Amino acid sequence: MRLSTGLALGSGWQQHAVALLALLLLAASAVAPASAAPNPKAAELEAAINADYKFSRTNWDSAVLNDTLSNPYLESIHWSARPPRFQFTVFTQLTLNRLPTLFNMCSSYTGPLSAAVFLAVVQPLDARGRGSEALSEASRGKVEAAAAEVAEFHTKVEADPAICQLDIMFFYEVYDSDQSKLLYPVNYLRNYARMQVRTRLLAMVDVDMYLSASLSAEMEAEGSIPRYERLCAERRATVLPAFEPTKPGALGRIMVTYKRFYEPWFITCEEIMPWYDVDFRGYGMNKIILIAALNYYNYSFWIHPAAWLVHNPHTDTEVRKVVAEEASQVNKHRAVLPANALYRKLTQLFGKAKRGMMRGSYTPRTDPRQMAVYDVVRWLPRPPQLVGSPTPESVFT
Ligand SMILES: *[C@@H]1O[C@H](CO)[C@@H](O)[C@H](O)[C@H]1NC(C)=O
Ligand SMILES: *[C@@H]1O[C@H](CO)[C@@H](O)[C@H](O)[C@H]1NC(C)=O
C-alpha cells in the first residue's frame, strides 16, 4: 500500500515535472533563436583562441617602441545556423558602434559573411601605477552590455533569410589610457575574421562597403565557384572595383569617379591569401602593405567585369586625424616627430617591410597566439606558407 502510494505520488510528480520541462523548453525556444544553440566548432575555436590569454593593459609606448603585441580576448562567438548559400565568404572587421554599417553590408549580400567585432576597454592604473590584474567590475559591465548587443544583432540577422549568413566573433582589448586605445588592432581582427571563414574562396571587404547584387548572383550561379578556384592556381586576384558616391548636392548624388587600384578589394583562395601584418595598428598602411605583399607573392590582378562595391563614406576616426596631423607636420614643416609618434612608426614599419620585399625575406608579422590555434583545432585549413620573390624598388615609388 505504501509502495503503491509512493509510486502514484512518484509518477504524478514526474508527469508534473515533464509538463513543466516541456513548458520551459517551449518558452526557451520562443525566446532563444537558432543562433543561441552553441555550434561545437565555434565553441572549440573560441576556447583555443583564448587558451593562452593573460590579462594585460595595452600601453602606447611599449606597443610603439617595443613592438609588444595587441592582446584581444574573444568574449563570444555566434555562427549562423543557416547553410551557406554558396561557397564564397566575405570577411570584415569593425568596432561595436558600427554594427548598423555591418547590417547594411549584410543586406547587400546573400552569402556567408564573417565579422570580427571589437570593443576597446580603458582601465587605467592608479596614480601609483597599480591596478588589478583582471577586468574591473565596471569594465565587465561594459563588456557584457556589448556582448548582449552583439548577440541581439546576430539574432536579428538570423531572422531574415534574404540577407547574409553571419558569423561573428566579438573581441575586446584592455588599454591603460585613451591614447593607447587608438591602437585599434585592425589587422589582428582581419586575420581572426579570416580564420573563421569555412569556404575556400574568400574576400576581405571593409565594412563600409555595399556589394553589388551581381556578386551574390554570380556566386550562386552554377560553375562560378570552380571557375574562381581555378584562378587561384595561377595566383590571379579578381579585383572588385570600388565606387564612391559624391556628397549629395541640391540635384542629388552623381556617380562616379572610379580610381583604378584605389584600395583594391579582391577575391582569392584561402591557401594563397597572405596574412595581414599585425604590426600595422590604428590607422595607415594596413591594407597597402597587403597589396604590396600580393605583388611580392607574384599575384596578378584582374578587374571583375560585372561586380563592384560602393563605398559608404563615414566620418573621420580620431586616430586618422592624429596620423594625418603628424604627416602634415613632417611633410609641410619638416618636423622631427618624437620616437613614439604613430606616423613615424608607420614610416619605419613600411620601410622595413619594403626592404624585406626587395631582399625577398619579407613575412608579415602574425600573432603567435592566433597561429597556435592552428595546432590545436584540427579542422582548420593549415595557414599558408607563402614564398615571395624579390621586388624591384621601382614598385614602391
Ligand atoms: C622596452 O623594453 C625595455 C627592455 O625590456 C624596457 O627596459 C623598457 O622599459 C621598455 N619600454 C617600454 C616603453 O615599455
Ligand atoms: C609569376 O607569375 C607568372 C605569371 O603567372 C609566371 O610566369 C612566373 O613563373 C611566376 N613566378 C614565380 C617566381 O612564381
Domain boundaries, the chain: 34-319+344-380
Q: Which atom of ligand 2 is nearest the CA belonging to 234?
A: 5
* Closest CA relative to residue 186, chosen from 343, 319, 373, 80: 319
Closest protein CA for atom 6 of ligand 1: 66
CA pair distance 198, 188, nearest whole angstrom: 18
Question: Residue 36: what pLDDT?
Answer: 54
CA pair distance 67, 65, nearest whole angstrom: 6
Question: Residue 34: what pLDDT?
Answer: 46
Rounded to the nearest angstrom, the distance between the alpha carbon of 261 and the centre of ligand 2 is 21
Q: Which atom of ligand 1 is nearest the CA belonging to 61?
A: 13
Rounded to the nearest angstrom, the distance between the alpha carbon of 298 and the centre of ligand 2 is 6
Question: Residue 303: what pLDDT?
Answer: 87
- Residue with the three cell numbers 556589448: 146
How far is the CA of 191 from the CAs of 91, 132, 277, in angstroms? Answer: 9, 30, 9
**Which SS3 state, helix, strand or coil, does residue 151 take?**
helix
- Identify which ligand lies nearest to the alpha carbon of 60: 1
C-beta 298 within 6 A of ligand 2: yes
Rounded to the nearest angstrom, the distance between the alpha carbon of 237 and the centre of ligand 2 is 14
CA pair distance 315, 327, nearest whole angstrom: 19
What is the pLDDT tens value at each position of the chain, 397 positions in all?
A: 333 333 333 344 444 444 444 444 444 444 444 445 679 999 999 999 999 999 999 999 999 999 999 999 999 999 999 999 999 999 999 999 999 999 999 999 999 999 999 999 999 999 898 988 999 999 999 999 999 999 999 999 999 999 999 999 999 999 999 999 999 999 999 999 999 999 999 999 999 999 999 999 999 999 999 999 999 999 999 988 888 776 555 554 444 744 444 568 899 999 999 999 999 998 888 888 888 888 899 988 888 888 888 888 777 788 888 888 988 888 888 889 999 999 999 999 999 999 999 999 999 999 999 999 999 999 999 888 899 999 988 887 7
**34-319+344-380: CATH number:** 3.90.550
C-beta 62 within 6 A of ligand 1: yes
Closest protein CA for atom 9 of ligand 2: 298
Instruction: Return the best residue to mutate from 298, 301, 302, 389 for the ligand 2 pocket (most ligand atoms within 8 A of CB).
Output: 298
Q: Which atom of ligand 1 is nearest the CA belonging to 66?
A: 1
How far is the CA of 179 from the CAs of 175, 182, 319, 338, in angstroms? Answer: 9, 6, 9, 15
- Identify which ligand lies nearest to the alpha carbon of 232: 2
C-beta 61 within 6 A of ligand 1: yes
Going through the chain in order, the beta strands assigned E by DSSP cover 73-78, 88-95, 112-122, 165-175, 201-204, 209-211, 236-240, 242-243, 265-269, 300-303, 309-311
**DSSP, res 96:** G
Question: Residue 286: what pLDDT?
Answer: 83
Instruction: Return the best residue to mutate from 62, 64, 125, 180 for the ligand 1 pocket (most ligand atoms within 8 A of CB).
Output: 62
Question: Residue 1: what pLDDT?
Answer: 33
Rounded to the nearest angstrom, the distance between the alpha carbon of 370 and the centre of ligand 2 is 30
Assess contact for 107 and 158: CB atoms under 8 A. no
Q: Which atom of ligand 2 is nearest the CA belonging to 235?
A: 5
Question: Residue 246: what pLDDT?
Answer: 63
Q: Which atom of ligand 1 is nearest the CA belonging to 62?
A: 14
